[in-house]
C-alpha cells in the first residue's frame, strides 16, 4: 500500500504567496527599467513594489528611507534611476529569483540582476536579498541587501 503525501496546512498557501510575489517581481523589473530609460516619469509607480520605511544595505552603506518622499527622492530610488540614466543604462534582466515563504506575512527573495547598456554590454551583475512583507497595500519590498554579484 502506498501512502499519499500529506500536505501541511500552509503548503498550498505558500505556493499562492510565491506566485503572488513572482508576479510582483515580473512587473517590478519592467517598471524600473522604463523609469530608468526615461520611457516613463511617474516615480510613484515604484510604491507599487516598495514600502517605507525601506532599509537598503550594501558593502559600504546602510540607509533607511523613512517615508515615501525619501524612497523616491535623490538619496533613494530616484537617485539610483538618475545615475542609471546618465550611465547609458538600457535594460535589466532578472537572472535568478528564488523565493522562500517565511510565513503568511513575509518572504525572502534571493535575486540576481543583470544590467546592460545601450550597446548590450553588461554594466553590472549583482545579487540582492529582499525581505518582502504583506502590507495593507499588498506585497512590498521592505528591505534589500546587496549580496554581491
CATH classification of the domain holding 136: 3.10.450.50
**Does the structure show a pLDDT above 90 at 145?**
yes
The residue assigned the cell 536579498 is 129
Average pLDDT over residues 65-94: 95
Q: What is the pLDDT of residue 148?
A: 86
- 3 in a structural domain: no
Q: Which residues contact 135 (CB under 8 A, 6 or more apart)?
A: 51, 142
Residue 40 lies in a domain: yes
14 vs 68: CA distance, rounded Å: 29
- pLDDT on residue 139: 98
Mean pLDDT confidence for 35-64: 96
Kindly report whether the peptide bond that precedes residue 53 is cis, defined as omega within 30 degrees of 0: yes
Q: Is residue 6 part of a domain?
A: no
Q: Residue 4: inside a domain, yes or no?
A: no
pLDDT at 1: 45
Please name the residues in contact with 117: beta carbons below 8 A apart, sequence gap of 6 or more. 87, 88, 89, 90, 123
Residue 81 covered by a domain: yes
Q: How many domains does the chain have?
A: 1
- pLDDT score at 11: 60
Domain that holds residue 77: 11-148
The answer to whether residue 1 is domain-embedded is: no
Q: For residue 10, what pLDDT is reported? A: 58
pLDDT above 90 for 9: no
The residue among 9 and 137 whose pLDDT is bigger is 137
User: Does 96 map to a domain?
Assistant: yes
Flag whether 2 is in a domain: no
Amino acid at each position: 500500500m502506498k501512502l499519499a503525501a500529506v500536505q501541511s496546512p500552509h503548503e498550498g498557501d505558500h505556493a499562492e504567496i510565491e506566485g503572488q510575489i513572482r508576479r510582483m517581481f515580473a512587473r517590478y523589473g519592467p517598471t524600473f527599467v522604463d523609469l530608468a530609460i526615461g520611457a516613463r516619469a511617474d516615480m510613484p509607480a515604484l510604491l507599487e513594489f516598495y514600502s517605507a520605511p525601506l532599509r537598503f544595505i550594501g558593502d559600504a552603506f546602510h540607509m533607511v528611507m523613512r517615508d515615501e518622499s525619501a524612497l523616491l527622492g535623490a538619496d533613494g530610488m530616484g537617485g539610483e534611476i538618475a545615475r542609471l540614466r546618465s550611465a547609458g543604462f538600457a535594460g535589466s534582466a532578472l537572472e535568478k529569483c528564488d523565493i522562500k515563504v517565511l510565513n503568511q506575512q513575509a518572504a525572502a527573495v534571493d535575486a540576481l540582476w543583470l544590467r546592460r547598456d545601450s550597446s548590450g554590454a553588461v554594466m553590472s551583475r549583482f545579487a540582492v536579498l529582499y525581505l518582502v512583507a504583506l502590507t495593507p497595500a499588498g506585497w512590498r519590498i521592505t528591505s534589500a541587501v546587496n549580496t554581491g554579484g
